[in-house]
Amino acid sequence: MEQQGLSIFDLIIKGGIIMLPIVILSILSIYFIIERAVYIYNAFKLESNFINNLKDLLGKGDIKAAKAYCQRLNTPISRVIEKGVNRIGKPIKDIESAMESAAGLETDKLEKNMGFLGLTAGIAPMLGFIGTIAGIIKIFYDIAQSNNISIDVIAGGLYVKMITSGAGLIVGVLAYTGYHILNTRIDRFSHKMQSTAIDFIDVLES
C-alpha cells in the first residue's frame, strides 16, 4: 500500500503545543525582517546632489530655504543635516554635537525591533529542543507503562517530536540571517550618514 505523505500543516499539528510559539515567532520574524528591510531601503533614498543644492542655498545666505529643503526631503539624513542647519552661526563643535545626537536617534529608529530578531535566533532552537526532549520523555514513560519497546513505538513517536527541533532551527536560522543582513545594512547607512555630515561641515568651513 502506498504510504501517505505528510503536509506542512500535518507536521505542525503533530509537533505538539510547543509548535505554537515557534510558529508565532516565525510569523513575527518574517514580518519584522520585511518591515525593517523596507524602512532601511527607504532611508537610503537621498537626492544625489543634496549637498550641492544645500551648498547653493547656504551660499546665498538663505538658511530658511536650506532648512525647508531638508524638511521637504524628510529622510533620516536630511533630518540630521537639518539639525546642523538650525545651528548655523554657532561654533562648529556645537553643530557637530547636534548632528551626532540626531544621528543617534535616527540609528535607534533603524534598529527598532532588531532585538526581537536577535532574541528569536536564540530562543527558537531552544524551544524546538525542549519540544523534542519533552517528547522523548513521554515516549519512554509510555514504554515503561506498557512494557512495549518495539522500534515502531520508539521511531513513530520520536520522528514526530523531532519536528519541533527542525522547526525551531529553521526559524532560528531565518531570524539569525535576517538580523545580521539588516545590521550590515544599518552599518552601511550609518557610514553614509556620517559621510554626509562631514561633507556638510566642509561646506560650512569652506
Q: Is residue 8 scored above 90 in pLDDT?
A: no
Q: Each residue of 30-70: pLDDT tens digit?
A: 999 999 999 999 988 888 889 999 989 988 888 899 999 99
Q: Are 154 and 183 a contacting pair, CB within 8 Å?
A: no
Sign of CA pseudo-dihedral 68, 71, 73, 78: positive
Between 145 and 66, where is the model more confident?
Answer: 66
Sign of CA pseudo-dihedral 102, 106, 108, 109: positive
Going from the C-alpha of 140 to that of each of 99, 127, 133, 134, 152, the distances in angstroms are 63, 20, 11, 10, 13
Domain ranges of the chain: 8-41+113-190, 46-110+196-205
Q: According to the model, what pLDDT value does residue 163 have?
A: 82
Q: According to the model, what pLDDT value does residue 104 have?
A: 92
Between 174 and 166, where is the model more confident?
Answer: 174
Q: pLDDT band at residue 175, thresholds of 50, 70 and 90?
A: very high
Least confident of 46-55, 75-84, 93-102, 156-165: 156-165
Q: Is residue 112 scored above 50 in pLDDT?
A: yes
Q: According to the model, what pLDDT value does residue 2 have?
A: 42
pTM: 0.79
Q: Is residue 117 scored above 70 in pLDDT?
A: yes
Q: Each residue of 122-142: pLDDT tens digit?
A: 999 998 888 888 777 777 776
**What is the amino acid identity at position 197?**
A
User: Which 3 state secondary structure label does DSSP give 88?
Assistant: strand
**Spatial separation of the C-alpha atoms in residues 111 and 107, rounded to whole Å:** 6
Q: Each residue of 78-92: pLDDT tens digit?
A: 999 999 999 988 899
**What is the amino acid identity at position 189?**
F
**Spatial separation of the C-alpha atoms in residues 20 and 11, rounded to whole Å:** 12
**Spatial separation of the C-alpha atoms in residues 136 and 155, rounded to whole Å:** 10
Q: Is residue 100 scored above 70 in pLDDT?
A: yes
